[in-house]
Amino acid sequence: MKSKKEIKQFQEFLLNSWPAKHYYFLNGWILRFTDGITSRANSVFPIRYTGTDEILESDIAIVEKAYKAHNLPPVFTMHEFYEPKNLKGKLLKRGYHTYDQTIALGIQIDDIHPTTITNDFEYFIFNSRVKEFSEFLTRFSKWNEDEQNIIQEINQRIVIPKKCYVIAEYQNEVMGTLFAALVPQGYLYIGDVFVHPDFRRKGVATSMLFKLKNEWVKSNRVKTIWLQVEKVNTKALDLYHKLGMKKLYDYYYMKYE
């Protein structure tokens, strides 16, 4: 488990790797709004709090009013060191519930051991989100075409982190995707790791990761690779643990509906 300072820093990395459409700042809290697509881009990040206990309830009410104005439920992203410390208790009393418990995993680049890349596939690395990437995710992720268009807009707002997109193809058809965003501090965030259901457990996901490591990571001075997995996704957790990834921290969301 990382220190308080490190976990707060990872939250900032996450904010920059997935930029929201609109922001509002409230006594240290960062409110994010992006048409309801992904909890991460439509929640409050309570990384720090400069208010007082006397105004905490009114600040929560302001949050609720702000999200209502965007036709969204109020959501808080709760890592171990959220501020203030009594925030969770206040939210529970107001009727909030927790969901999507998530683990952040990471590994130092030098600790990633070489592995055989599945050569039955072709791998391509792009510096922008090509249509084939979005079309594949429309078919196999939980987001439909309209929602993928909003995610495309989020990706276009990624400016300070470097970014790349990996596609695995079999017989000229996309069978896997992987997205990566590198913040200036040398931390590479991995997301959108999807493999066609008919080609899972064939080393496609790990092959995309090692293709990225071999052809992009070292030349861009990446220090650490990290990603997030929901606790219920035990198959993905097993895969990443086998690669040597260790828990960095965990978090969950709190929502009022």
What mean pLDDT value characterizes the chain?
Answer: 93
Distance CA 61, CA 33 (A): 17
- pLDDT the model gives residue 36: 95
- pLDDT the model gives residue 97: 97
SS (H, E, C) 155-176: HHCCCCCEEEEEEEEECCEEEE
E-strand stretches of the chain: 22-26, 29-33, 44-45, 75-79, 97-108, 122-126, 162-170, 173-182, 187-195, 224-230, 246-255
- Structural domain contains residue 228: yes
45 and 117 inside one domain: no
Structural domain count, the chain: 2
Q: How far is CA 42 from CA 1, 112, 233, in A?
A: 26, 33, 22
For 46, the 3-state DSSP assignment is coil
The enclosing domain of 149 has a CATH number of 3.40.630.30
- pLDDT the model gives residue 1: 64
Give tens-digit pLDDT for 27-38: 999 999 999 999
- pLDDT the model gives residue 172: 93
Is 37:147 a contact under the CB 8 Å cutoff?
A: yes
- pLDDT the model gives residue 57: 97
Which of 48, 73, 105 finishes a domain? 105
Question: In which domain, by residue range, is 101 found?
Answer: 4-105
Q: How far is CA 124 from CA 129, 154, 211, in A?
A: 12, 22, 9
- Structural domain contains residue 255: no
Q: Which residues of the chain have pLDDT under 50?
A: none
- pLDDT the model gives residue 121: 94
- Structural domain contains residue 24: yes
Q: Angle at CA 9, nearest 5°, toward 5 and 11? A: 120
Which of 52, 83, 105 finishes a domain? 105
